[in-house]
Structure 1
Amino acid sequence: MMEVRRSEERGAAHHGWLESRHTFSFADYYDPRHTGFGPLLVINEDRVAPGAGFGTHGHRDMEIISYVLEGALEHKDSIGTGSVLHYGDVQRMSAGSGVRHSEFNGSQAEPVHFLQIWIQPDTRAIAPSYEEKHFDEASKRGTLRLIASRDGRDGSVTIHQNASIYASILDEGERVEHALDPARRAYVHVIRGDASVNGVPLKDGDALKISAIDKIVIDQAEAAELLLFDLP
């Protein structure tokens, strides 16, 4: 089974300081056809104006992953972590039994553009924790670079769910393949550029739900950056 999720069909929020597109139902946007895909519950594409951001707020029992595309994302939380993230940085915060945090544009001059991803953990009420790692462009070019996994293998950040997230940057003529257990599902989200996934053409912001298929082939790329989620 394959189902396309087109960029222009995503939910939208316009708050002046924030422009956001919601792949799945979130906040005031609700679509019963798009409430998540397995444990993958949120992919928000956020653009935050200079000096603005999300004030301190709380989360529980959620794996929250930020993938920065442009600008500087400033993070502070109730477990004592403070950091400024840039392109190539991946942040994982396990909310567990409860955490409060804020996210602001760390620049007074330039917007910040990032994806925020929520994955439902398979263990509840764990101690909150934080991790961040940098994945440079070279490590993602022409390959599927593991950036998040249950066991933190290959230098990825660790998430509390039997899921893996891969990032890739593909230029014209490049092709990658991913073997998928037919009992699992996958979600491919094109961040920017164009690519074909199992013969389905996708552009920036588009995505493809995949299940009951044993191989994913991504090719016909043009300046593409994308994420592949391998999910239970």
Structure 2
Amino acid sequence: MNSSSCCKLPIISRIWHSTIGKKLLVALTGVVLTLFLAGHLGGNMLIYAGPEAFDAYAEFLHHMLHGAGIWIFRVIMLACLVIHVAATISLTRRNKSARQSYENKAVIQAKKSSLIMVWSGLTILAFVIFHILHFTVRTDPELARIAAESPHQMVIVGFQNWLVVLFYIVAMTLLCSHLSHGVQSMFQTLGLRSNKSAAMLDALSIGYAIVIWVGFVSIPVSILFFNFGS
């Protein structure tokens, strides 16, 4: 594709066909998803405050903008996740196709890191779809019935299955491993990382990932192994 034909493409296509554009898409969708995780965790932790607080939170979410708000938000989040994963895979494939005549240790390590990021991203995407079907669409009629009475109790019952809890823990572990590397890359892509701030941003990324992991994993573990809410 020559430069004249490239300039005739819509701006979205030009961004997608550009390596820099894809990196920016990964970084910007990463910012949105990272902030969402913090907000989502804050809401989920209300489960420890009891049924009344958690059910009131669920009621608020489902009545935003007369019920449309929560679905608009979900569509945006899912779109960001799909774009994030697709752009990451595309960048990895492009880097792989641009083979060097030599491979030193750093290059090999970078390829392994990219491959892990791709597979963890795909697993997280699969988990998000499962999570939506499990707690949002509620394909299980029993959970749907319970949710109509108490979302708090729905979560308690939903995490009584050890396979669900195991998948949740594995997915959250991969997510937080992804976060610890991805947040660092996000700062670098957006030009917010320097030699002076590198150590602080690395510690911030790892610390944030640990907080997210402990917070989300504590809920199913407390329910399944410590009979929380029973």
TM-score (norm 1): 0.21
Higher fraction of strand: 1
The structure whose Rg is larger is 2
TM-score (norm 2): 0.21
Question: Larger RCO: Structure 1 or Structure 2 (Cα < 8 Å, ≥ 6 residues apart)?
Answer: 2
